[in-house]
Every structure is written in structure tokens, then in C-alpha cells.
């Protein structure tokens, strides 16, 4: 059985992410909000949140999403 | 027979329909939901600190106060020669209390909690109830609100002078100490003016151009040319070389820092943030050294005009983003040791105002109870981000009574400026 590919999405860490590790998510679902730009970061793919880590040097959350087989993403 | 046959078909149909319905319900219940999940809020947690074998429980580095008595009030009529402005990034009331419970017990006090004047500071930014460190740092440094992400300027791009820069213009010596990179948001708010906190290379250039007397932190990455490994610059400027040409003594180890002397000292001890572990200097050691360098510089100078020093315990915020109570306590204790270093100097000097506060709260931490016999504190995190909660302020020294009460984070720099007859403040940078 092959492992689904995973992608990383970063969101500003000022506000919490709107998802947690283990969540199943759909393409377009909000992942986090950047109060700085007013921009809401959304998931580029369907999949499962594999992990969320805090990047202290850049003050970002790094969200790793395991994509579903056959799902296209940028 | 016909009846029995019909009856049998009906029974069979019912069984088949029930089987199909059961399998449908089972399939539906095991299918991953594609609906948005609830936000990952409300994380109750037992903070257990009883296992002596676990390194996360080691707080032997911390020397608690030998008394819970408050430090004495200092007459407001005394001159405020020096200001030491200390910021615990992400440090709310609950972080302070959790750290106190862990380190000194219910009846104890942290060093910062013995400071006699207490305030409560609102933290919202110009565009959000929940601030980030850049906008909060700008409010604390420049006395003006800005949008999250911006440093040292109003939302329209007008650059505003920081209290550090205004102090330097009045002939005071200046210093920045942090456990983050020196170009990180809070030290940057006091020493640079950029549209976005991500502009680390530009921030470092401005910090050098500002000729801050003492800078001790992490973050060589913004100071070395792109050709060097782990550089965060996109050009060939070597700011470390430029700093030395401009008269800075550069140090990168604790031993060199202790031996450093002179009017301009730049100490960067890691490529990015400090690890806050050996062999780096601790925040308290950096604070003590910065005070010594600034104070000696003042006495060498004909015009002893005092100094302004900003000290940040940068990594309390990072521990709280991770919802990690062990790291939160450790970072707050490291910060409190630095507070003690500042208070030791201020108690001898009696003309130094020490201010301890935070830029915002992180994690939405609360404390629900404890079992001290089992060495367990029941806590709840409500967020992995910042919150809009007001933060505590503790003050000691001449001018500290002016910091009692509930007010906005823009007021602190304004009240220092008033004390130092810096007028007008806030004001645009020329």
C-alpha cells in the first residue's frame, strides 16, 4: 500500500488554526486566519491533517496535510 | 401454500431491506466527515511536575525570592535616570500564576510579583482585538497603534519614533536584549520601522544604523551575507563586518560577552533564536551584562544621562503556542531571573524605573485547581494562538506609581516620555 502524498500549508500564528491534527478536511476549508492581511488560508486539497507545528523563527503554524489518493493540488 | 409463499417473500424482503439499511448506516457512520471540524479549543491538561528523573521538571537553575515582601516604594520625586523595560512575550496573569505555583507554591511570589506597583494593560491592535507581537511592540515602543505585522509605523506608513530612539536623541545610552533573534518583532519594534515583521534583513540594517549601544540576542542569520550558510539575507551585505567597522565589539560566546567592554557591543549567540540552554548566556546574564555596559558607559561619559534598556523573554510565547506548560514555566522562570538582575541593580541605584509587562497573552491559559501532594496542577488551554486578554504590568522605582491602574499599551511609552520630558511623544520620525 503506498503512502498518500502530503503537502505543507503555512498560516500566521497570531490566531489559532481552525483545524487540529487528525481532522478530515475538504478543499477550500479554512485552516487559519491572518489578521494582518485579513486573509483566510484555505486547504488546497481534500485530506487529513497530519501535524501542526509552530515555527518560532517565522511565527507561523506549519500544517501538514496528507492528501487523498488522486486529489490534485497546486 | 400460496399464502405461505407470499408470506415468505414478504419476510425475505424485510430481512433484505433491514440488512441493506444496516450496512448503509454502518457505511455512513464510518465515512470520514467532510464537514468543517470544531476548532481545537479547550484543552484540559494535568500539568504533572513530580517526576525528578524527567529533565522537563528541572528548575534548579531558578533562585526564588527569599521573601514575599514587596519591594519598597520609591519616591516619585526622585529622578528617573534609567528605564529597564522588560517584556515577557505571551505572558498573561495565568502564566505568571502557573509559574509561581510550580516554583514557589501557593504562598510564594516570583521576583516580578514583589514589585510594588501593578497595572493591567489592554493589548488590542489598530485592526484586530487580538494583537500580534509587531503591533503590540509598536504600541509599547512608539506609543501608537498599528496594524498587526507592522513595526514602528502607523497603518498609513508614517514612521513613529520609539522611546529607545527618543532616549538616544536625548543623550541616553540604549540597549536591547532578547532570547529570540535580534530582528524578531519585539526588539525590532524599538529599533526599526518596516511594513512587515518578515523583513528581517531590513530590520537588522536599521538596528545597526540606529547605533543601539548594546544588543545581545540570537539571530546572526539576518546579519551575514547570502553566500554564508543559513543566511536570511538576499544580498551580499555582511552586517557583522559593517558593525565592527562602525566600532562595535562583536561577541558570540558567553565568555567573550562577560569580557566585553566599550560603548558598542553586539552579541549574537545563535544563527536564529537562542536555545536558552548551555553554553549560551542566560537571559539574566545578558541583562546583567547589558546593565553593566550601559551604566559604565554613562559614568565614562561627561554627561551622565542614563540609559534605556529593553529586555524580552521571547520564548514564553512559543511555549504557549505549543500549549506546553513545562516550557512555559521554564521560560517564565528564566525571564523572572532576568527581572531579579534588573531589580538588584535598581535597588542599589534607586534612580532606575523597572517595568515588567507583556505584549499579549498566548494560549488562553487558565488554572482550574491543583493537587500539590501529587505535584499536579489542572490547567486548560483555550487556544494555540494569541488572545485578547489584558496583561499584567509590575513596576518598581521612581515613576512606578504612574503605572498603576488599567490602561492601554500605548500609555507606557507615553508615561516614560513624560517622565523624561520627551515632548511631543508620540511623534513622527523625521
pTM of the model: 0.89
SS3 A10: strand
Residues of B in contact with A37 (CB under 8 A): 149
Report the pLDDT averaged over residues B82-108. 97
Taking only residues 21 to 40 of chain A, the set having a beta carbon closer than 8 angstroms to any beta carbon of chain B reads 23-26, 29-30, 35-38
Q: Quick check: ipTM above 0.90?
A: no
Nearest residue in chain A measured CA to CA from B126: A36
What pLDDT is recorded for position B26? 45
Q: Are strands A60-67 and A47-55 parallel, antiparallel or unpaired?
A: antiparallel
Contact B321 A54 (CB under 8 A): yes
Please tell me if residue B181 touches chain A, with a CB cutoff of 8 Å.
Answer: yes
Cite the beta strand spans of B237-323 per DSSP E.
249-251, 265-268, 307-313
Cα–Cα distance, B177 to B217 (Å, whole number): 6
Concatenating the DSSP letter of every residue in B76-133 gives TTS---EEEEEEETB--HHHHHHHHHHHH-TT---SGGG-SEEEEEE---SS-SS--H
Q: Are B98 and B365 in contact (CB under 8 A)?
A: yes
Preferred mutation among B127, B385, B386, B387 to probe A, highest tally of A CBs within 10 A = B385
**Mean pLDDT, range B42-58, rounded to an integer:** 86
Q: Does A41 touch chain B (CB under 8 A)?
A: no
SS (H, E, C) B318-380: HHHHCCCHHHHHHHHHHHHHHHHHHHHHHHHHCCEEEEEECCCEECCEEEEEEECCCCEEEEE
Question: Looking at beta carbons, which residues of chain A come within 8 Å of B275?
Answer: none
> A15 contacts in B (CB within 8 Å)?
130, 383, 385-386
Q: pLDDT, tens digit, for every residue of B346-376? A: 999 999 999 999 999 999 999 999 999 999 9
- With beta carbons less than 8 A apart as the criterion, state whether B358 and B92 touch: yes
pLDDT tens, residue by residue, B128-168: 999 999 999 999 999 999 999 999 999 999 999 999 999 99
pLDDT band at A55 (very low <50, low <70, confident <90, very high): very high
For B399-426, the pLDDT digits (tens) are 999 999 999 999 999 999 999 999 999 9
Q: How much is the pLDDT for A36?
A: 64
Write down the pLDDT at residue B17: 52
Among the ranges given (A22-26, B41-45, B96-100), the one the predictor scored with the smallest mean pLDDT: B41-45
* Mean local confidence (pLDDT), B189-211: 97
At residue B338 the predicted structure's pLDDT band, cuts being 50, 70 and 90, is very high
> Residue B148 is nearest to which of A14, A26, A48, comparing CB atoms?
A14
Q: Is the peptide bond before B415 cis (omega within 30 degrees of 0)?
A: no
Given the C-alpha cell 484586530, which residue does it identify? B128
pLDDT at B4: 52
**B259, pLDDT greater than 50:** yes
Give the nearest partner residue to B386 out of A14, A37, A61, using CB atoms. Answer: A14
What proportion of chain B, given as a percentage, has pLDDT over 70? 90
CB contact (8 A) between residue A35 and residue B132: yes
Q: Express each pLDDT in B26-44 by its tens digit.
A: 444 444 444 444 455 677 8
Contact assignment for B37 to A25 by CB distance below 8 Å: yes
At which residue does the C-alpha cell 539576518 appear? B222
With beta carbons less than 8 A apart as the criterion, state whether B119 and B399 touch.
no
Spatial distance between the Cα atoms of B36 and A49, rounded to a whole number of angstroms: 12
Tell me what percent of the residues of chain B surpass a pLDDT of 90: 84
Supply the pLDDT for residue B272. 97
Phi then psi for residue B137, to 5 deg, are -60, -40
Percent residues over pLDDT 70 in chain A: 84
DSSP annotation of B159 reads B
**What is the per-residue burial (b if ≥16 Cβ within 10 Å, else e) of B34-48?**
eeeeebbeebeeebb
B424 touches chain A (CB under 8 A): no
Pick the catalytic residue from B133, B180, B192, B400.
B133
pLDDT band at B56 (very low <50, low <70, confident <90, very high): confident
List CB contacts of B55: < 8 A, sequence separation 6 or more: none
- Flag if B272 and A19 touch (Cβ within 8 Å): no
Q: Quick count: other Cβ atoms within 10 Å of Cβ A40?
A: 12
Check pLDDT > 60 for residue B72.
yes
Q: How far is it, in rounded angstroms, from Cα A29 to Cα A23?
A: 11
Q: Per the CB < 8 Å rule, is B131 touching A14?
A: yes
Mean pLDDT computed over every residue of chain B: 91
Closest chain B residue by Cα to residue A29 = B36
**B133 in active site:** yes
Q: Which residue of A has its CA nearest to B323?
A: A54
Confidence of residue B217 (pLDDT cuts 50, 70, 90): very high
The stretch B56-72 carries a mean pLDDT of: 94
Please tell me whether residue B20 adopts helix, strand or coil conformation: helix
Q: What is the pLDDT of residue B10?
A: 53
Domains observed in chain B: 39-419 (3.40.720.10)
Q: Which domains does chain A have, with CATH numbers?
A: 6-67 (2.40.50)
The pLDDT-based confidence of B300 (bands split at 50, 70, 90) is confident
Amino acid at each position: 500500500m503506498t503512502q498518500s502524498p502530503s503537502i505543507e500549508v503555512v498560516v500566521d500564528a497570531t490566531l489559532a488554526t481552525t483545524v487540529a491534527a487528525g481532522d478530515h478536511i475538504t478543499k477550500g476549508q479554512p485552516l487559519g486566519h491572518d489578521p494582518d492581511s485579513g486573509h483566510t488560508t484555505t486547504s488546497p486539497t481534500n485530506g487529513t491533517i497530519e501535524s501542526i507545528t509552530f515555527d518560532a523563527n517565522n511565527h507561523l503554524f506549519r500544517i501538514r496535510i496528507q492528501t487523498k489518493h488522486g486529489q490534485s493540488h497546486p | 401454500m400460496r399464502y405461505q409463499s407470499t408470506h415468505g417473500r414478504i419476510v425475505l424482503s424485510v430481512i433484505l431491506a433491514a440488512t441493506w439499511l444496516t450496512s448503509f448506516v454502518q457505511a455512513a457512520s464510518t465515512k470520514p466527515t467532510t464537514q468543517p471540524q470544531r476548532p481545537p479549543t479547550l484543552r484540559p491538561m494535568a500539568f504533572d511536575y513530580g517526576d525528578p528523573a524527567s529533565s522537563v521538571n528541572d528548575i534548579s537553575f531558578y533562585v526564588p525570592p527569599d521573601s514575599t515582601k514587596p519591594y519598597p516604594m520609591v519616591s516619585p520625586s526622585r529622578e528617573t535616570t534609567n528605564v529597564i523595560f522588560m517584556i515577557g512575550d505571551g505572558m498573561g496573569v495565568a502564566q505568571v500564576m502557573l509559574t509561581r505555583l510550580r516554583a514557589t507554591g501557593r504562598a510564594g511570589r516570583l521576583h516580578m510579583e514583589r514589585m510594588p506597583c501593578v497595572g493591567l494593560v489592554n493589548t488590542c491592535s489598530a485592526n484586530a482585538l487580538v494583537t500580534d507581537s509587531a503591533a503590540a511592540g509598536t504600541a509599547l515602543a512608539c506609543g501608537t497603534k498599528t496594524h498587526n505585522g507592522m513595526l514602528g509605523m502607523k497603518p498609513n506608513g508614517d514612521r513613529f519614533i520609539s522611546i529607545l530612539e527618543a532616549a538616544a536623541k536625548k543623550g541616553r545610552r540604549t540597549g536591547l536584549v532578547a532570547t529570540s533573534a535580534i530582528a524578531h518583532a519585539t526588539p525590532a519594534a524599538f529599533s526599526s520601522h518596516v511594513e512587515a515583521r518578515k523583513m528581517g534583513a531590513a530590520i537588522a540594517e536599521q538596528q545597526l544604523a540606529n547605533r543601539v549601544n548594546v544588543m545581545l540576542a540570537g539571530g546572526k542569520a539576518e546579519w551575514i551575507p547570502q553566500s554564508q550558510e543559513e543566511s536570511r539575507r538576499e544580498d551580499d551585505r555582511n552586517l557583522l563586518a559593517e558593525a565592527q567597522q562602525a566600532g562595535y565589539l562583536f561577541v558570540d560566546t558567553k565568555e567573550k560577552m562577560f569580557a566585553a567592554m566599550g560603548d558598542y557591543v553586539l552579541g549574537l549567540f545563535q544563527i536564529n533564536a537562542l536555545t536558552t540552554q548551555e553554553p549560551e548566556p542566560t537571559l539574566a546574564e545578558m541583562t546583567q551584562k547589558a546593565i553593566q555596559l550601559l551604566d559604565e558607559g554613562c559614568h565614562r561619559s561627561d554627561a551622565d544621562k542614563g540609559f534605556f534598556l529593553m529586555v524580552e523573554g521571547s520564548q514564553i510565547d512559543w511555549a504557549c503556542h505549543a500549549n506546553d506548560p513545562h516550557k512555559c514555566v521554564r521560560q517564565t522562570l528564566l525571564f523572572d531571573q532576568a527581572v531579579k538582575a534588573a531589580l538588584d541593580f535598581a535597588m542599589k541605584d534607586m534612580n532606575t524605573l523597572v517595568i515588567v509587562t507583556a505584549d499579549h497573552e498566548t494560549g488562553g491559559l487558565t488554572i482550574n485547581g491543583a493537587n500539590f501532594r501529587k505535584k499536579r496542577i489542572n490547567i486548560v488551554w483555550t487556544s494555540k494562538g494569541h488572545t485578547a486578554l489584558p496583561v499584567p504590568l509590575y513596576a518598581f522605582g521612581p515613576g512606578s506609581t504612574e503605572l498603576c491602574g488599567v490602561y492601554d499599551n500605548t500609555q507606557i511609552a507615553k508615561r516614560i516620555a513624560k517622565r523624561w520630558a520627551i515632548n511631543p511623544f508620540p511623534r513622527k520620525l523625521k
